[in-house]
Amino acid sequence: MLNRKSISKLAIYCGVVTAGISTVNIAPASSQLFPQAWVTLGGNEGDFTYGAGARFLNVGVEVGTGKEGATGGDVLAFLPLPAISPYVGLGIYSGDDTVAYSGGVHFGKGHLVLGAGYHSIRGFNGKIGFRF
């Protein structure tokens, strides 16, 4: 005969296996399958900063100019959420501060992409772009 303990263990194991299998088959949202391009404008310590970027799947690149004319680029990693995509980035820039870090969010509907973020060299910035 089966006792209650063995049935509950079996139920737990089946639940864990089912959950594991179901997460393997999750596909990215359609918003993450199409490339995105954007421009970014901001400011840092009174200097006007600007840049441009592109994203495909969960990886992006952004190039820009920061305070005192420092120029460089960043590699961005996006968290794949359906409606909003937070990101973190690491980059290399000319000038006194050579290593830069950044973070922010992208969100949008349809083909329009909006965003906001902070960059250690380019300061706080806003983004506007489009999805192909």
Per-residue pLDDT of 66-104, as tens digits, reads 888 899 999 999 998 878 999 999 999 998 778 999 999
Catalogue the E-assigned strands of the chain.
36-44, 47-56, 59-65, 71-78, 84-93, 99-109, 112-119, 123-131
Dump pLDDT digits (tens) for 12-60.
Answer: 655 555 555 444 444 444 445 678 999 999 998 888 999 999 999 889 9
Q: Flag whether 110 is in a domain.
A: yes
pTM for this model (two decimals): 0.71
Q: Flag whether 8 is in a domain.
A: no
Domain that includes residue 61, residue range: 30-131
Q: What is the CA radius of gyration of the chain?
A: 21
Q: Flag whether 102 is in a domain.
A: yes
**Residue 68 near residue 95, CB atoms below 8 Å:** yes
Q: Flag whether 1 is in a domain.
A: no
Alpha helices in the chain (DSSP H): 4-24, 30-33
Q: Flag whether 11 is in a domain.
A: no
Q: Phi/psi class of residue 14: alpha, beta or left (left: φ > 0; alpha: ψ in -120 to 50)? A: alpha
Q: Flag whether 66 is in a domain.
A: yes
Using the Cα atoms of residue 73, residue 99, residue 58 and residue 49 in order, give the sign of their dihedral. negative
CATH of the domain at 39: 2.40.160.20
Q: Flag whether 121 is in a domain.
A: yes
Total domains, the chain = 1
